Structure 1
Amino acid sequence: MILCITEKPSVAKDIAAILGANTRKEGYYEGGNYKVTWTFGHLCTLKEPGDYEERWKRWSLGMLPMIPARFGIKVINDSGIERQFRVIENLIAEADEVINCGDAGQEGELIQRWVMQKASIKCPVKRLWISSLTDDAIREGFAHLKPESEFNNLYHAGLSRAIGDWLLGMNGTRLYSLKYSSPGNVLSIGRVQTPTLALIVQRHFEIQNFKPEDYWELKTLYRGATFNATAGRFHSPDEATATLDEICQSPLVINDIQEKKGREAPPRLFDLTSLQVECNKKWGWTADETLRLIQSLYEKKVTTYPRVDTTYLSEDIYPKVPGILRNMTPYAALTESLLTSKLPKSKKVFDNSKVTDHHAIIPTGQSPAVLIGNERQLYHLIALRFIAAFYPDCRFLSTTVSATVGKHGFKATGKVIEDAGWRKLYDDTPAEESKDDTSDDRILPEFKVGESGPHEPALQQKTTQPPKYYTEGTLLRAMESAGKTVDDETLREAMKENGIGRPSTRAAIIETLFKRRYIYRNRKSIMASQAGIELIET
């Protein structure tokens, strides 16, 4: 008998249907030579300190640090989990072969390996590794099962992360709670949650200690176009006023016109973090909400595996793209022009060197008719981004006009879109990529070198602004690039590719900080609570 172990009952049902294991039993499906069972995410966890040594049950500074000679796992203390584990344990004992059908990522590998280890598995194990749950992807995955040994390093990475969390969390939490907290009050310390909280507290102090300063900008209006002084800001009102008085008496003279053709490539495909950032920016969704919704889209077979940290596709996806576009029938009007000729194969989209376990999040081509509410909105966002990746660049003409008034230089810039390219897709939507209506994007009148005339100068008084509080979107980006704030060169290099936390766990880390009341929301802003500030100061 071949036993398949999935991570969720819904996935088990899909796989069982394809394998012909159609008879439902208590905790599994069976049929032919297959049985298909499931976990509910984590069934096992690392043991508690008291499970290793009796003396570690008591919180005491004298017992720290607690470092087990060998780490062990146990089944989570929950009647439903214990019942399902016994089902899996009995099935593993009967199996001739096990197929690990867990989520194809670091966390999925850890979940399944722990369950199989705890069940004392003896038979050979193979790995199903797929990026979507469509019937075709599942069939193709079963036709190309991989040896378990190929994923040993992935398991060891997940195990090391879990042990790192345990060592720092268990010891740090007891140390700080015993030394700095009132009796019975726990100060929670975590390998990822504490540096994340530190980012938020650091921003709190940057804003609190910010001292606003006034400055003045000199602009002048000539033939309907705004020219900015090239000298930049004035920090003294007297100097600004003196310059204004000086240029009032002189005409503006055009002395140079530069026209430059430019191109803007389509936005990159989504990884999980960029998707969470975009949804927070557009609709104010939390990172956790977006993760739940994209997980649902994956389980409904309409998008690919979501917990990814790349915005690229592997080159073997290229031949499949026309079929995916063709099957996206609700978007036929947008894909029609792409399907009449060979699709471009850009390194900005297809690059094997930028893809490890999984590629960027894209539609599978399955009908999105099953989606409702926010799921439909999220699918539309992903679908447009995918289609846009194969549209031509947006081409524009950028104009810079240089002028002088007396001895002072001025400059006006403008942009004319010559071919909207991929931007056509966003014409009817609140364009996520559209820029503010600044002078850089305005169409300028036609100027000639040497022309001159009267102008209308004016001073604008402005004040420097403090940094903005983090939103969930900007906090995710800060976690992703946290190495930038590290001074030690070696450590910064080590963090360059990873930041802090994994794409799949960052949302949960932020939620943990909310639950522990170290941070709170003020509309879209994330603020540090007094407890959070005091913990980081400690």
Structure 2
Amino acid sequence: MKLCITEKPSVAKDIAQILGADVRRDGYFEGGEYKVTWTFGHLCTLKEPGDYEERWKRWALGVLPMIPARFGIKVIPDKGIEKQFQVIENLISEADEVINCGDAGQEGELIQRWVMQKASVNCPVKRLWISSLTDESIREGFARLQPESDFDNLYHAGLSRAIGDWILGMNATRLYSLKYSSPGNVLSIGRVQTPTLALIVQRHFEIENFKPEDYWELKTLYRGALFNATSGRFKSPEEAEAALEAIKSYPMVIKDVQKKKGREAPPRLFDLTSMQVECNKKWGWTADETLRLIQSLYEKKVTTYPRVDTTYLSEDIYPKVPGILRNMTPYATLTSSILADKLPKSKKVFDNTKVTDHHAIIPTGQSPSVLVGNERQLYHLIALRFIAAFYPDCKFLSTTVLGEVDKTGFKATGKVIEDAGWRIVYDNTQSNDDTKDDENSDDRILPDFTIGESGPHEPSLQKRTTQPPKYYTEGTLLRAMESAGKTVEDEELREAMKENGIGRPSTRAAIIETLFKRKYIYRNRKSIMASQAGIDLISTINEDLLKSAKLTGLWENKLRRIERGDYSASDFIQELKILINEIVINVLSDNSKSKIIVDNTSRGSDKSGGDDSDLKEGNSVKPTKPRAPRTTKFEQVECPICGKGHILKGKTAFGCSRFREGCSLRLSFIDYPESLTPAKLKKILKKK
């Protein structure tokens, strides 16, 4: 018997129909040589601290950091989940072969592997890897099933991510909650969550501390065209007025006219982040709303796999594109012209080097007639982007005119569309982006100027004021997460920076929602604002390692390298173990004044923080006073692990002076009483 395990009942039903397993049982389908069952997303999770050691059930500084010798998993304690897991476990025990039909991504791989591991699979396992749920795609996938081992690196990356989040989330959350909050309240810290919050808090202070300054710009109107002075801004009205008076009695003289032909390529195909950004900009949809909608389109078979971070298609998709376009019958008026000739095969669309597991989000060619409301609106957005990708570039003529009034230089720019190209798809000659202010736009049409001509003009001054940075919207925050906090407009550079982004496309929406849920941020129309709780939390965290977007991006880069097989998962975990040990020692040594933390999460179960844990609402957190420092010296006691450092005495444990260099020695006062003298401690260590 071949057992297929999918991630959702709806996917199981689709696969079962194709395989002929059309008899419905309790928790699975069967027919012929196949049985098809399903998970409900995560059935298993990493064990909680108290599952490893009894002393870790109690929140106490003395037991930190909590690092299990070996991480384990358990079935999530829920009656429905436990029942379905039992079904899967029984089916696995009878199977001759298991086919992993989970979502074709890192999270899907982790979900399925944990279930199979917990259920003790002892037969061969193969992997179904598909980019859409159409019948054709499923049949093709079953015709080329791959060995499970081909996806080991993907699993190792997912496992490293989960363990890394556990190490930092569980330990840092308990550490900061116990150190800086009142009993029973939680300050939630996460590997991705905290740097994201830090970006929002940083923007809050940039705006709050911004001091507006007035400035003046000199402009002049000549033959209906507005020219800007090339000398730049004036900082005082007196200086500006003097410049204005100096040119009033002189004519404008045209010194140079340059015309250049330009081309504008179609917008790139969608990855998940760019789609979320576009939907937020156009319709104000949250990242989570867009993710739920595109997931639904995928499950309804009208679009391809959504949780992707590439805007390219693999070259093997090229032969299928004409068929997809022909099947998009509602868009026949737009597709007919490009289907009349051979489709172009541009490197800006098809590039195997830019595609790993999945390609960009595109239509499958299945009819979208079942879609209504926002789903139909989103499909239309994807369809137009896909069609536009095969249209020719937009061609334009760019004009730059340089003039002079006495000795003051002026410049005017304009652009004329000569061939709309892909812009026809959007039924106008404006950019698909928001139109710019006409006065400062390069898209104005200029009259024909001749070098040497001159004539009267109308000079004027415009007073302006410098503006602070804008608050993040969900769209701009997603872009900031994608580029580790750097504002990047260039598409090529943005593509290159994705490897160092904060989080993954599939998780960023959930991270933002978590920050809302924990009341660290809130919405003010489209703007995302930091709450006082969020501001206080980031102000409390002195460890840059916990809140740096750049460093978190580097961790993300290592996870991607694990996925590719050129970085060790064990090295990544070891780095985080050293890191959390360093953070614990640093925080426990912090003798600064207490900080007022306002928070709305309280301790529920042992899901103490991290990026994926769920916390209950509670009361505000009050400040607590740090204990007085201990100053007993232990310099004469050599560290028994590294042999290079000496012993330090902290507030809850003895540690090594070389903890920053990676020495992980930590002797809790529970096992090594703080009353020990240096001589007694040295004697005990020598015996052990």
CA distance in 2, matches of 1:223, 1:367: 54
Partner Cα distance (2:74, 2:325) in 1: 46
Larger CA deviation: 233-242 vs 366-375: 233-242
Aligned equivalent of 2:469 = 467
- The alpha carbon displacement at 1:237 in A equals 1.4
Structure 1 residues 439 and 535: CA distance shift in structure 2, 3 A? closer
Deviation string for 1:178-219 (max 9, x for gaps)?
000111111000010000000000000000000101111111
Q: What is the match of residue 498 of structure 1?
A: 500
Query: How far is the alpha carbon of 1:448 from its aligned partner?
Result: 1.1
Residue 85 (structure 1) aligns with:
85
Q: Which one is further off, 419-428 or 1-10?
A: 419-428
**What displacement does 1:435 show?**
3.0
Residues 334-359 of structure 1 show CA distances to partners (whole Å, capped at 9, x for unaligned) of 00001111000000000000000100
Residue pair 1:226, 1:439 contacting (<8 A) in 2 also: no
CA distance in 2, matches of 1:174, 1:103: 33
For residue 472 of structure 1, report the CA deviation from its aligned partner.
0.3
**Where do 1:4-153 residues align within 5 Å?**
4-153=4-153
Q: CA deviation at 1:236?
A: 1.8
CA distance in structure 2 between the aligned counterparts of 1:429 and 1:127, rounded to whole angstroms: 47
Secondary structure in structure 1 of the residue aligned to 2:357: coil
Question: Within the alignment, does 1:188 sit opposite 2:188 as a pair?
Answer: yes
Residue 538 of structure 2 aligns to which amino acid in structure 1?
Answer: I
1:425-461 deviations in Å (ceiling 9; x for gaps): 1126996335323441111111111111110000000
Match among 484, 487, 507 for residue 482 of structure 1: 484
Residue 299 (structure 2) aligns with: 299
SS at match of 1:324: helix
SS of equivalent to 1:458:
strand
What is the CA–CA distance in structure 2 between the aligned matches of 1:191 and 1:122, rounded to whole Å?
35
Equivalent residue of 1:497, what SS?
Answer: helix
C-alpha change, 1:439 and 1:293, in structure 2 (3 Å) is closer
- Aligned in 2, Cα 1:510/1:203: closer, same or farther, shift over 3 Å? same
> CA–CA distance in 1 between the matches of 2:42 and 2:244?
69
Aligned to 2:350: 350
Q: How does 1:337-486 map to 2 (within 5 A)?
A: 337-427=337-427, 432-433=432-433, 435-436=435-436, 437=438, 438-482=440-484, 484=486
1:96-138 Cα deviation digits (max 9, x unpaired): 0000000000000000000000001101000000000000000
For the residues of structure 2 that align with 1:292 and 1:536, how far apart are their CA atoms? 30
Alignment partner of 1:531 is 2:533? yes
Single out whichever of 39-48 and 426-435 deviates more from structure 2.
Answer: 426-435
- How many Å separate the matches in 2 of 1:132 and 1:455? 62
Q: 1:508 aligns with which of 472, 487, 510?
A: 510
> Partners of 2:154 and 2:449 in 1: how far apart?
62
Letter in 2 for 1:450: G
Higher mean C-alpha displacement, 434-443 vs 269-278: 434-443
Look up the equivalent residue of 2:175 and give its one-letter code.
L
Instruction: Tell me the secondary structure at the aligned position of residue 500 of structure 2.
Output: coil
Matches of 2:353 and 2:428 in 1, distance apart?
A: 36
CA displacement at 1:495 relative to structure 2: 7.2
Is the Cα contact below 8 Å between 1:98 and 1:126 reproduced in 2? yes
Partner Cα separation in structure 2 for residue 522 and residue 226 of structure 1: 37
Structure 1 Cα separation of the partners of residues 234 and 7 of structure 2: 62
Query: Partners in 2 of 1:141 and 1:239 — Cα distance?
Result: 72
Q: CA deviation at 1:483?
A: 6.1
Which letter does structure 2 place at the counterpart of 1:423?
Answer: R
Shift of 1:45: 0.2
Structure 2 residue aligned with 1:289: 289
Equivalent residue number for residue 271 of structure 2: 271
AA in 2 matched with 1:135 = D
- Is the 8 Å Cα contact of residues 483 and 496 (structure 1) preserved in structure 2? no
Partner Cα distance (2:471, 2:525) in 1: 11
Q: Which residue of 2 aligns with 1:491?
A: none
Counterpart amino acid of 1:531?
A: A
In the TM superposition, 1:146-225 aligns within 5 A as 146-225=146-225
Structure 2: state its 5+ residue gaps.
488-495, 541-688
Q: Give the Å deviation of 1:71.
A: 0.2
Report the CA distance between 1:511 and its aligned residue.
0.2
- Deviations, residues 15-58 of structure 1 (Å, cap 9, x unaligned): 00000000000000000000000001000000000000000000
CA distance in 2, matches of 1:498, 1:85: 36
Check 1:471–1:274 CA distance in 2 against 1; reply closer, same or farther (3 A cut).
Answer: same
Query: CA contact under 8 A between 1:483 and 1:495: conserved in structure 2?
Result: no
Between the aligned partners of 2:393 and 2:232, the Cα distance in structure 1 is: 33
What is the deviation of 1:498?
3.1
Q: Distance in 2 between matches of 1:478 and 1:202?
A: 12
8 Å contact kept, 2:423–2:430: no
Q: Any conservation in 2 of the 1:282–1:432 contact (CA below 8 Å)? A: no
Q: Distance in 2 between matches of 1:243 and 1:357?
A: 60
Task: Determine which structure has more spread, i.e. the larger CA radius of gyration.
Answer: 2
Runs of 4+ aligned residues of structure 1 deviating over 2 Å after TM superposition are 428-435
CA RMSD of aligned residues (A): 1.2
Q: Secondary structure at the match of 2:413?
A: strand
User: Could you report, residue by residue, the CA deviation over 1:270-321 in whole angstroms, capped at 9, with x for unpaired residues?
Assistant: 0000000000000000000000000000000000000000000000000000
Contact residue 420 and residue 429 of structure 2 kept, 8 A: no
Deviations along 1:367-412, whole A, 9 cap, x unmatched?
Answer: 0001110000000000000000000000000001110000000011
Share of identical aligned residues, percent?
86
Say whether the 8 Å CA contact 1:401–1:413 is kept in structure 2: yes
Assess, with a 3 A threshold, how the Cα gap between structure 1 residues 205 and 483 changes in structure 2: closer, same or farther. closer
Distance 1:161 1:91 in 2: 29
Aligned-partner SS, 1:277: helix
- Look up the match of 1:490: none
Q: Is the 1:131–1:358 Cα contact (8 Å) retained in structure 2?
A: yes
- How many angstroms does 1:497 deviate by? 1.5
- Using the alignment, how far apart are the partners of 2:507 and 2:434 within structure 1? 30
Deviation at 1:238, TM superposition (A): 1.1
Between the two proteins, the alignment pairs up a number of residues equal to 530
SS at match of 1:187: coil
| Structure 2 partner of 1:254 | 254
Task: Report if aligned partners of 2:398, 2:416 keep a CA contact under 8 Å in 1.
Answer: yes
Q: TM-score, normalised by structure 2?
A: 0.76
Q: CA offsets per residue over residues 465-504 of structure 1, 9 Å max, x none?
A: 000000000000000101649xxxxxxxx97613111110
SS at match of 2:313: coil
Q: Residues 43 and 209 (structure 1 numbering): CA distance in 2 closer, same or farther, change over 3 Å? A: same
Q: Distance in 2 between matches of 1:360 and 1:265?
A: 17
Query: Is the 2:423–2:429 Cα contact (8 Å) retained in structure 1?
Result: no
**TM-score, length-normalised on structure 1?**
0.97
- Distance in structure 2 (CA, Å) of the matches to 1:356 and 1:143: 21
DSSP-derived class of the 1:348 partner: coil
In structure 2, C-alpha distance between the alignment counterparts of 1:352 and 1:185, rounded to whole Å: 50
